[in-house]
Chains A and B, each alone.
Chain A
Amino acid sequence: MLITELKSKDVIESLISGKSFIINCHGCMEVRFPEKEADALEKDLVQAGKVTGIVTTDYICNPDNLKLQLKNHAEEIDAADSILVFSCGVGVQTAADLYPDKPVYAACDTIRLPGYQGVTPLETDCGQCGTCYLNLTGGICPITACSKSLVNGQCGGAKNGMCEVDPEMECGWERIYRRLKALGRLDAMRCPTQLHNFATDEATRECKES
């Protein structure tokens, strides 16, 4: 089971300037999704006129499936300045890969529950770190795409764009830099210094019991 927790309302509201298209993933049974809280928040956003459309579906971590689900929403997505995704980190990354020209934001944090690794398809991975960084990194996960799981930009080790640890792997932070640059969002890298919170890596008792 993967556990997602909603980011705070302030954080989510601060992400979307203008209008947003919303994707909800009620995907795998194994994922605990804060459905009620998400619903309430989305209603508020709709009322404030900030939403161009909502799609609620499953398994958005599968890119082909996601494409299919979004087929009839092209106009709504076009009209939106950003895409807000309520899912685990893998779903957000899949959406971000699909829309490299539009900011794709994570509305949830994904938390680890020992024993379960998630239904992780393809090469996209979420380390369930508990403090989702995707909104600062153009939708590429620094925890899994960087060999050192760095959260403040790249180390000096990449050579010809490849990671110092694994020459077969592209440096995750160079990918993040390119993605943010293409989106015109390099300012995201001027955020305050990030400290990885290892206390949120573990699911809280409250989460486990529910």
Chain B
Amino acid sequence: MKITELFKQGEFVVSAEVGPPKGFHIEEMVESAKKYLSKVDAINVTDCQSSVMRIGSLAVCKTLKDAGLNPIFQLACRDRNRIALESDLLSAALFGIDNVLALTGDHTKLGDHPDAKPVFDLDSVSLLHTMCLLEQGKDLGGNDLVGEPPKFAKGAVVSPCSDSVDAQLMKMERKVAAGAEYFQTQAVFEPEKFIKFMEQAKQFGKPVMLGIIIPKSVGMCKFMNNNVAGISVPDSMLDELRADKEKTKAGVTGVEIAARIIRECRPYCQGVHIMSLGWEDKIPELLEKAEIR
């Protein structure tokens, strides 16, 4: 089901994320999704996230759909040229997968195949443009598609706490112009920055889903501060995580922090996107604490 329909109905939309494994045995992942993610509206399936080779996003999307869940097909431009991207979009349409999230993708050098050729024939913006063309029954080569054209709920990402937020807003504008219908954000740990960002971003009139990562440990936060673009976990939160080691280890502190961020930001956005990074089992509790479900 198209996630855009839910925004139209005025719902506060919740999505979560699963990371496919390196291998084709996904039963456990599917079971965990069925168990913990039944209450979310949609589930992102990452596409060789961080340039680490894994089973394909599309195949996992199809499996989740068959299991009665609503997948969002993440599609990155790092590994495929325009022919393969268009072809995969048609394959998605065949499987009834109608939520697509357009990504440029991390560089190959950052992943576990640093010798691979980085493609970047298209990027997130031109991929959105391509989806619009397919929806009009045309491909990028100017040729007609056979039969009824596909229809997608076209998503994109934006980084609200980036150190160059003006440039991010400009890029967001380009994505909207190219056809983006909703946005998921990079993980937010600074609600003030997010709220300020939304003051600007609301001019585009597109739903924005607040990105959330449940902080697992001080080490993880420090790693993100040093290595992940657009994320900075404030010192006060690090102190919170330090205060009670057992509580943090059990995930209680992390869930409390994440729930607080959601509650603070909720009036300013249209949904929340939870990147649980293996902590799917904490999501039901998080949604409850955040007073969403």
Binding site for B on A (CB under 8 A): 147-161, 164-165, 173-174, 177, 181, 186, 189-190, 193-196, 198
- Which residues in window 229-247 of B have CB below 8 A to A? 229-230
Binding site for A on B (CB under 8 A): 104-107, 109-110, 118, 120-126, 128-129, 140, 157-159, 162-164, 166-168, 170-171, 173-174, 177-178, 186, 227-230
Main secondary structure of the interface of A (DSSP, over half): loop
Residues on B with C-beta less than 8 A from A149 are 120
Are B107 and A165 in contact, with the CB atoms below 8 A? yes
Q: Closest CB of chain B to A47's CB: distance in Å? A: 38
Residues on B with C-beta less than 8 A from A155 are 104-105, 123-124
Are B163 and A159 in contact, with the CB atoms below 8 A? yes
Are A158 and B121 in contact, with the CB atoms below 8 A? no
Residues on B with C-beta less than 8 A from A160 are 163
13 residue pairs of the A-B complex, CB under 8 angstroms, read A147-B107, A150-B104, A151-B126, A153-B125, A154-B164, A154-B171, A155-B123, A155-B124, A157-B229, A160-B163, A161-B163, A164-B106, A165-B110
Return the chain A residue nearest B167 by Cβ. A177
Contact of B167 among A152, A174, A196 (CB under 8 A): A174
With the chains together, A181 CA to B157 CA distance in Å?
Answer: 23
Q: Do A193 and B178 contact each other (CB < 8 Å), given the known contacts A152-B123, A198-B121? A: yes
Are B159 and A156 in contact, with the CB atoms below 8 A? yes
Are A189 and B174 in contact, with the CB atoms below 8 A? yes
Are A148 and B104 in contact, with the CB atoms below 8 A? yes
Residues on A with C-beta less than 8 A from B118 are 148
Q: Closest CB of chain A to B86's CB: distance in Å? A: 12
With the chains together, A181 CA to B122 CA distance in Å?
Answer: 25
Residues on A with C-beta less than 8 A from B106 are 157, 164
Residues on B with C-beta less than 8 A from A156 are 104, 157-159, 162, 168, 186, 229-230
With the chains together, A43 CA to B106 CA distance in Å?
Answer: 48
With the chains together, A150 CA to B178 CA distance in Å?
Answer: 15
Q: Closest CB of chain A to B272's CB: distance in Å? A: 19
Return the chain A residue nearest B105 by Cβ. A155
Q: Do A177 and B170 contact each other (CB < 8 Å), given the known contacts A158-B229, A160-B163, A190-B177? A: yes
Are B126 and A195 in contact, with the CB atoms below 8 A? yes
Residues on A with C-beta less than 8 A from B126 are 151-152, 193-195
Contact of B121 among A154, A165, A173, A196 (CB under 8 A): A196
Are A148 and B164 in contact, with the CB atoms below 8 A? no
**What 13 new A-B contacts, CB under 8 Å, besides A161-B164, A174-B164?**
A150-B104, A153-B170, A155-B124, A156-B104, A156-B162, A158-B162, A158-B163, A158-B229, A159-B229, A159-B230, A164-B107, A190-B174, A193-B126
With the chains together, A194 CA to B127 CA distance in Å?
Answer: 11
Return the chain B residue nearest A158 by Cβ. B229
Closest 10 CB pairs of A and B: A152-B125, A193-B129, A177-B167, A155-B104, A153-B171, A148-B120, A159-B229, A165-B107, A156-B159, A193-B178
Q: Do A193 and B164 contact each other (CB < 8 Å), given the known contacts A153-B171, A164-B110? A: no
Residues on B with C-beta less than 8 A from A164 are 106-107, 110, 229
Return the chain B residue nearest A156 by Cβ. B159
Residues on A with C-beta less than 8 A from B123 are 148, 150-152, 155
Q: Closest CB of chain A to B27's CB: distance in Å? A: 33
